[in-house]
Structure 1
Amino acid sequence: MKKVLFALVIVMFAAGSAFAHSPLCDCFDNGDGTVTCEGGFSDGSSASGVKMHVKDSAGKVLIEGKMNEDSEYTFNKPSVDYMVQFDAGEGHSVEVNGKDIVE
């Protein structure tokens, strides 16, 4: 009986782990005054519709939008120090410092 319970616990743990996914986001400077970010999840899920925020160094939101159907978001590069936040909800957020975004 103990072996059956142990096997059941292992199967339940493995099934729960299969549904876990981590957010991914990478941004690059297009060289034309715009920045494009690409997002997704470690399990291959689309990021279409995920909220995007571009904030200044004080945390004030400068630009808001959402990932498009291709899991991309393009915005005009701010003239001040900024960061980009991929916001898919609690525990599923990624922040990219504007200084790390290069062509």
Structure 2
Amino acid sequence: MIKKTIFSLAFLASSAFAHSAVMSCFDNGDGTITCEGGFSDGSSSSGVAFIVEQNEKAVIETKMDDNGEVTFKKPSEDFVVILDAGEGHEVYIKSKEITQ
């Protein structure tokens, strides 16, 4: 019985951390991009770091709003958006993958 309880507690502890960051972005058609983030377990990305990079340099650094969203002016050249929730929980999306 003790072994079963220890196994159950270990399983619960590992499943509590078993989630992935997710993000989708779309072109609003008005010169802005909106990105929505979250986690695979349904938890919010509110307050998570959000970065837009061009040529590997940050041009926008902010945080996801209370709804887990960010809207920003679309850069004129290629860029990458990054949801950075910590090591192992980053999402990268290239501008060419963002459509209306």
Q: What TM-score, normalized by structure 1, do the two folds share?
A: 0.88
Aligned to 1:73: 70
Tell me the matched-pair count: 99
- The structural deviation recorded for 1:4 is 3.8
Is 1:98 the counterpart of 2:89 in the alignment? no
Aligned to 1:60: 57
Point out 4+ residue stretches in structure 1 off by more than 4 angstroms: none
Aligned to 2:41: 43
- SS at structure 2 position matched to 1:49: coil
Deviations 1:44-82 (A, max 9, x none): 1111111110001x2011111111001000000000110
- The structural deviation recorded for 1:35 is 0.3
Larger radius of gyration: 1
- The structural deviation recorded for 1:13 is 2.9
Structure 2 unmatched runs, 5+: none
RMSD (Å), alpha carbons: 1.3
- The structural deviation recorded for 1:12 is 2.3
